[in-house]
Each structure stands twice: as structure tokens, then as C-alpha cells.
Chains A and B, each alone.
Chain A
Amino acid sequence: MKSRSLRWQFLLPAILLAGLLVLPEVGLSPNALRLLFVSFVWIIASLAWNLLGGYAGQVSFGFAVFNGIGAYVAAMLIDNGRLHPYLAFLAAGVAAAIASVLIGLPTFRLRGPYFAIATIGVSEAIRVVATNVDFTGGASGYRITESRQFNQLEHYYCAMFVAAVAVATTYLISRHKFGLGLMAINQDEDAAADSGVNPFAYKLKAHAIAAFFTGIAGGLFARYAAYIHPNGVFGFHNSVQILLMPVIGGLGTVWGPVLGGVVVGVIEEEIVAYFPQAHLLIYGGLLIIIVLFEPGGIVGGLRRLARWIRRVLERGPGTPAADTPSEQADEVLWGTGSGPGR
């Protein structure tokens, strides 16, 4: 495909990765490490959701269920050293993936918003069950006791590693057959089927991969926090946050979810400090603004900016306002809207 930009494409992420690897050595406060750890966990979930919601266009409002399942499975396996934490994380991911198939079988018969609402229902139903069932600790939650000492650096590197894997996975998917199939389903599910794509199977697969990563994210967090309870890990606000990040950052892109994760992370920190009551207001407002003005999220906005700059440089003042067709090719996978920003 485009090979001259290939080197640039890999250079920046490589630098970023190297930087993150080295950062703790340079010296970071425990609070900064915590912040980065939490960001990584959210970024994992964000990238995961983006696979199903961004590329395939199936918007799920119930990803908290995978977060929760991952958290509980990991918690119960790590507790008292029953299983090595890393294996527990894998198990958490697999458990979430299996759950995703069970959930997907009935719900993927629905399209669009019906699917979205159905996922809310599933997530809430499971939250309710988890609150009432005993062996998970019920409403009082579950506490993990580990014999190994708490090593913040270990958590940091674990999360970073998984996040990097998630980024790589997203990149690979977007470049190959699987990603193309998902995008085709997003554009027109029936036409995709008429071209040979098996929509149901593909949706299930994307769902499973997304659930896998989200489950691991849940597990990572559970181990870090050492205590989880149903309203925390299965809570609806988790589903909200998970979907908010890719939407803000840019659906259907590789770095959009990452940027979205960073933005949301920053907002979380600042809000907690200054405007604790305006939490939902800011998220809701952001969502509305993005839908109406820049459906491509941050990445979409940056691309438009880059195009505008390029055009101004090429032709000087008096440039036409509209994009040429090949420029429009860079737009993300949304319908053509007539929002006030256009």
C-alpha cells in the first residue's frame, strides 16, 4: 500500500513505546505511575470496544459486563495464589470471550440501536445477578489476598504490555481481511453478505476479541485494586466510559481510542479535582458536540486540520472550502450529516 509513510507510521509509536518503557527509570511519582497504569487499562478497553463499535459499527452499551467478568474471574483465580496472575489474566480474557459469544448469539440478530439497548439490558441483568449471588461475595464484593508483595512497577509494565498488544492487534486487523470485512458490515451488512462476508460470524468474532481484551483489562484492574464489587466493575458508568473514549478519540482508527483514553483520563483527574458534580454533563456534552460537529472525533478533526493546512500551503489564500473527493476519502465511517458545523 503506501510505503513511504510506512516508516513514519512506525517511528512515532516506536518512540512512544521506548519512552514509556524507560519512563519509570527516569523517576516517576507513585501517583504518576498510578495514573499511567489506569490510563493503560482504560486504553485497552477503549481499543477493544473500537473493534466492534468502530470498525464493525455495532455499538454496545454493555461492555462493563466483560470488565466485570474479567475482574471476578481474575480475582477468584489470583486469590490466595490459586493461579499465577498472568495465567489468571488470560483466563479472565477467555471467560469474557466465551460470555461474549453467549451474549452475541441472541443479540446480534438485532441491528443498530436495538442491539445497543439490548446490551444495556444484558449488562444490567448480570450486574443484578452478581449482586445477589453468594460465591462471588454478593453485594459486599470480593477481596483478593496475594502472597506476593505489591509491586507498582509490575502492574505498570503488565498494563503497558497488554495495551501495546491491543494497539498492534487493532493495526493488524485494520490492514487485513478481517478488518475489511468488519468495515463492509458497518457500511452495509446485507451487501457485505452478498459479497461473501458472513456477518453473524464476523460480529461474533469481533465481539469475542473485544471481550477478551476488555476482560484482561478488568483483571488487571482487579489485581491492582485488590478489591472489587459488582456495582463497581459491572456498573453502567463503566460501559459509558468505555464507549466514550473511542468516540471522542475517533471511531474506526487505530490511535483514536488511545487519544480518547488519554483525554478521558485527563478529564477524570481534573473533574474529580474541580467539578465533581459535572461528570456526566461534560461527557454528555462532549458526546453531543462530537456527534454534531466532528463525528470523526479527535483523529477526524486532526485530519481535517491537516488537509486544510496542506491546502493553504499549496494554493495560498482563497482556497475553496470543500474537500475534493480524494480528501473526503479520509473521512471516517459516518453517514453524511447536515450538522451545524458543516
Chain B
Amino acid sequence: MTLADIANLVVAAVLLAGIYAVMSVGMTVIYGVMKIVNLAHAGFMMLGAYIALEFFERLHLDPILAALATFPIMVIVGGFVHFTLVRWLPRSDQPTLPSLLLMFGLWLVLQNLGYLIWGNTDRSIFTPRTFDVIHLGPVVIPTIRLYVFIAGLGCVLLLEALLNWTWFGRALRALVQNPYAGRIVGIDDEKIAGLTFGLGIGFAGLAGALLASLYSFNPDFGRPFLIRAFVIIVLGGLESVSGVAIGALVLALVETFTIIWLPAGYQLAISFGLLVLVLIVLPGGIASLLGRVRRLA
């Protein structure tokens, strides 16, 4: 394998990591504040993909713009779901069984809605640009992947900014660290929870919409991504955006490089095997290792 090949693979992995990060950030944020593991994440990704498809086909919007437009819609959807269903769940510091089952039921409902509204044939978003490539020396980059990466990265950075520089972000981080203390100092945790949930769903939808430009999809397409999101979160630790970025990168690298030796069908099994390995060696995920390093320093 030549250096150019390796460079290509690394670049491909980084681009992939970008979108994996977008996908996982939504789950992380919801988990951090509400301790809810969002199994319906895959369903919302699917919804986002289809909404972007509608924008593309009916309004002839550029796929990336369509994805960005999907974001606010999904945030509203998320807020609505929170208001009607999620806020009735028992409150806890730990993930609860009812929350798990509720989100799972929601996922089933979303899938079925997807089938009812859009049918179960594969759809995809094609533009003349889909096959363009850019050459950076020996490295070949499909432009669509680059745009997706940039859009995704931009949104994740905006999220970081939001978390660190706005009142909402601060309130959110406070609730992640200590919900009781947060409530005592006056944070309206119901409202923040609703906004957070909306935000998380927004990112899920955004991820789905971005993926729609890269792959074909049908209402069931969420499941492998759900598993990947989970792997990333466990790898990267559940409570920080940077952790997610690291986890996404690791997973993307592993996936990209193992394709050389194994048929694509086994990819999921590999990702999963990686997870199991990490869990056996480091029950806290890679982030716990980093935490240890930081503490020693």
C-alpha cells in the first residue's frame, strides 16, 4: 500500500468521522441533561433524511442547504415530542427502564410512519455534483463528502460555542453536572430539558439529512447508525462534545482501514467487536483514560 493510498484512507476516515460526530452529538446532549438514552435517534435521523429529500425534490434546494434547513424543523419536532411524551417520564440520575422502552416504542412508531408516508423503496439524493472529486495532490476527495463534512463540522462547532458562551449552554452544562444544584440556583430544568431534547433531535435530523446526500436510504436505515452512535459514545465518553469527536474519529479510522481486509458486510461486526474490546479493557471508555491522564497532570 502506497503512502498515497494511506493518505486517501485517512482523509476518507476524517470525513466520515465528521458526520459520525454530528450523529452522535445529538444523543450525547440528550443523555447528558436528561439521562435518557435515545433509542429513537435512528428514527429521527431517518425523518431528517426524508425531510431533506422533500426539500430537494419539491423546492429543488441544494442538498446541503436542504440539510441545514431540516435542522430547525427537527428541533421543533423534538420539542413537540418532549412536550407530549418525554416529560412524563420518571426523573432520575440514572437511565431508567421506562425511558428506554418509551424511546424504543417511539422509534417503532417513527419507522412505521416513514413507511406509510414514503414507502419502503430506497431513495437517494442525486445531483450532478454527486460524482465530482477534488484532487489535493495524490489525495482524491469526493466534493460532496467535503461539503457534508464542512457543514457538519460547522454545526458541531456552533454547538460548542452555544454550550460555552450562551446562557442556555451554561444552564445545560450545569444540569449535566448536577441537576439538583442546577434547580436550586433557579434553572428551569423542564424548559432546558425541552430545549435540549429539541436540540438533540435537531442534530439527529441534521445528521440524517447530511447522510441522505451520501447514501441511499429507506425507513429502516437508522439501525446500523444507532449502533455506531452508541459505539462512539462509549468510546468517547458520554458527556462531552470533544469526547464524541475522538470516538467518532477512532471508529471511522477502524472502519475505513478494516475494509481493506474484510468484506463490507462485516463492518458492523467489526465496529461492534471494537466496542466489546474497549469495554473489557476500559469500562469507562477511552474518555476515562483521558480523564486519568488529565488528573495525573
Binding site for B on A (CB under 8 A): 57, 59, 61, 106-107, 109-114, 116-118, 120-122, 124-126, 128-129, 131-132, 236, 240, 247, 277-281, 283-288, 290-292, 295, 334-340
Contact = CB atoms under 8 A, between A and B. Distances in A.
B263 A132 contact: yes
B266 interface: yes
B109 A288 contact: yes
Interface in B78-135: 85, 88-92, 94-102, 104-113, 115-116
A287 B226 contact: no
B88 A125 contact: no
The secondary structure that dominates the A interface is helix
B98 A335 contact: yes
B117 to A, nearest CB: 11
Nearest to A58: B97
Contacts of A337: 88-90, 98
A125 B279 contact: no
The secondary structure that dominates the B interface is helix
Contacts of B39: 113, 116-117
A128 B98 contact: no
Contacts of A295: 98
Nearest to A337: B90
A290 B115 CA distance: 24
Kindly name the residue among B88, B89, B106 whose own CB sees the greatest number of chain A CB atoms within 10 A. Answer: B88
B272 to A, nearest CB: 4
A280 B37 contact: no
B108 A281 contact: yes
A240 B269 contact: no
Nearest to A278: B112
Given A292-B102, A335-B92, A337-B88, A124 B223 contact: yes
B108 A128 contact: no
Given A109-B280, A280-B112, A340-B88, A132 B100 contact: no
Nearest to B120: A277
Contacts of A291: 89, 98, 101-102, 105
B276 interface: yes
B100 A112 contact: yes
Given A121-B272, A288-B105, A112 B95 contact: yes
